[in-house]
Amino acid sequence: MTTGSNPVLRQLIWVVDEGSKHMDWNEIPEGMGGSVNVATWQEIVQEAPAAAGLELPPVAGQHEPADIITFWQSRPGTMEEMVRFSQANLIAGIAAQLAALPVSQRLGPSDLFLPVDSLTNTYTLVLTLAALFSNASIAFSSVAGKSAELILSTQGIAPTVIVASPETLLKTHHETTSKLTSALARLSYWLKSRSLVDYGIMPVASVATSFGDAYLPAIGTTPGKLRVVYTAERVGAHSVPLSPRELSDLRVFLGARVIYALTASKVAGAVTQTGFYDYRVHGQDSQRSHFGPPVTSTEILLRDTADLRTTDEVSQGQIIVRGPSVAGGEAALGVSARMSDDNTVSYV
């Protein structure tokens, strides 16, 4: 190395092998003169302050992420409630949805996510953003909304994950149930229901059941590819309730896990949500299913009311929700609920 070939060289850093660092590398090479500062990379690292690199310099022109404003309509004809969510609220809601699925069942590049409900619903929006974060493909359909036709919404595509309103799923349930007219179809339905409810095993195609599967809805271009269905009760929106038996039937009819959540206007994502492998049917005659335990971004408190009080035997009261996904940090939902021994929440 000569000054002739490097006339403007001012700094020389040697990156030396661990076994050669004992040598004197600070000597200025011959012909370089005294204007060159010589050091080794190991010396620079050792002399650097402990706090170096912990804070990144500000990016020129960077702006604080703006809040997202949503409008929650409880029912037609009522005034919409405006809610302002921070970016932190949305991130917490997305993280809770990512953590809610078992590692082997999480969304990934092989999934095709289809929102059959409106994206103005924060639960649908958060799930869509979670799918984007997971590198899943996203499909949008013009047939989407509170009472959309599930079969029409999935024409031309083969979704693996969908989110739909309870009204949409209940309509699919009624249409499919009306086709259970033949003895073969009823036998196929009975075998699959027994496998799911009694043994906790998702039914799979077999010779015994395939002959009676003509009653099943044709979801997408590749029936059988659907694996997860999300739906949610909207607090104060007078959503159609889904019973434990209807949820179990939907798992049989769609061949997919059905996740039932409780959502509220001031919560990004879900307040509570049923488990991925929760196939239980509690209360055969119950008109409403439970909504599962709280997700990782929420904390549930039950405030005593005039009629409902928490005792040593039962936990019940008005729902107060706290957590990073809650706008303002805390919100009263205005509905009463009971928490069971397994931490699942259900309406009183």
* Residues of the domain holding 10: 1-55
Q: Is the dihedral of CA 252, 99, 262, 126 positive or negative?
A: negative
43 and 114 share one domain? no
Quick one: what percent of the chain has pLDDT higher than 90? 50
pLDDT exceeds 90 at position 327 = yes
- Greatest mean pLDDT among 177-186, 284-293, 335-344 lies in 335-344
C-alpha span between 203 and 251 (Å, rounded): 9
Average pLDDT over residues 46-58: 75
Chain mean pLDDT for the chain: 86
By residue count, the chain amounts to: 348
Answer yes or no: is pLDDT of 116 > 70.
yes
Mean of the pLDDT values across residues 183-187? 86
Q: Is residue 170 in some structural domain?
A: yes
pLDDT for residue 284 is more than 70: no
Cα–Cα distance list, 106 to 277, 311, 325 (Å) = 13, 38, 20
Q: Which carries the bigger pLDDT value, residue 73 or residue 139?
A: 139
Written as one string, the DSSP assignment of 290-309 is ---SB-TT-EEEEE--SS--
Distance of alpha carbon 160 from alpha carbon 318, whole angstroms: 36
Asked whether residue 246 is assigned to any structural domain, the reply reads yes
Least confident of 166-170, 190-194, 208-212: 208-212
Note whether 194 and 293 are same-domain residues.
yes
Indicate if 197 and 269 belong to the same structural domain.
yes
- Neighbouring residues of 305: CB distance < 8 A, sequence distance ≥ 6: 317, 318, 336
54-66 pLDDT per residue, tens? 777 777 777 788 8
Asked whether residue 302 is domain-assigned, the answer is no
Q: Across residues 312-322, what is the average pLDDT?
A: 93
Least trusted range by pLDDT, from 100-109, 206-215, 261-270: 206-215
Of 99-113, 114-128, 283-297, least confident by mean pLDDT is 283-297
Could you tell me if 94 and 30 lie in one domain? no
- On whether both 276 and 217 belong to a single domain, the answer is yes
Domain-embedded: residue 321: no
State yes or no: pLDDT of 127 exceeds 90: yes
Q: Band the pLDDT of 144: cuts 50, 70, 90.
A: confident
Kindly report the pTM of this predicted structure. 0.80
**Euclidean distance between CA atoms 213 and 223, whole angstroms:** 11
What's the rounded mean pLDDT across residues 165-185? 91
CA distance 131 to 101: 12
For residues 98 and 218, membership in a common domain is answered with yes
Confidence of residue 7 (pLDDT cuts 50, 70, 90): low
246 and 279 assigned to the same domain: yes
The domain that holds 88 is classified in CATH as 3.40.50.980
pLDDT at position 184 is 85
Distance CA 328, CA 322 (A): 9
Report the C-alpha gap between 12 and 36 in whole angstroms: 7
Is the model more confident about 270 or about 281?
270
Lowest mean pLDDT among 81-95, 161-175, 209-223: 209-223
- DSSP three-state, residue 269: coil
Please indicate, yes or no, if residue 322 is contained in any of the structural domains. no
Residues 42 and 99 in one domain: no
262 contacts 233 by C-beta, under 8 angstroms: yes
147 and 283 share a domain?
A: yes
Please name which of 123, 128, 129, 175 lies closest in space to residue 146, comparing C-alpha atoms.
123
Looking at the structure, tell me whether residues 264 and 206 fall in a common domain: yes
Name the least confident of 51-55, 135-139, 310-314.
Answer: 51-55
Task: Return the pLDDT at 3.
Answer: 47
Strand partners, 306: none
pLDDT at 275 over 50: yes
Q: How far is CA 308 from CA 260, 305, 345, in A?
A: 25, 5, 15
Is 24 a residue whose pLDDT tops 80?
no
State mean pLDDT over 40-61: 76
The tally of domains found in the chain comes to: 2
Q: Check whether residue 102 and residue 167 sit in a common domain.
A: yes
Q: How confident is the model at residue 297 (pLDDT cuts 50, 70, 90)?
A: very high
Give which of 134, 311, 305 is closest to 228, Cα–Cα.
134
Q: What whole-number distance in Å separates Cα of residue 41 and Cα of residue 49?
A: 15
**Does residue 311 form part of some domain?**
no
Tell me the pLDDT band of 197, cut-offs 50, 70 and 90. confident
Q: Which has more confidence, 204 or 279? A: 279
Note the pLDDT of residue 319. 95
Note the pLDDT of residue 220: 83
- Asked if residue 74 and residue 34 are part of one domain, the reply reads no
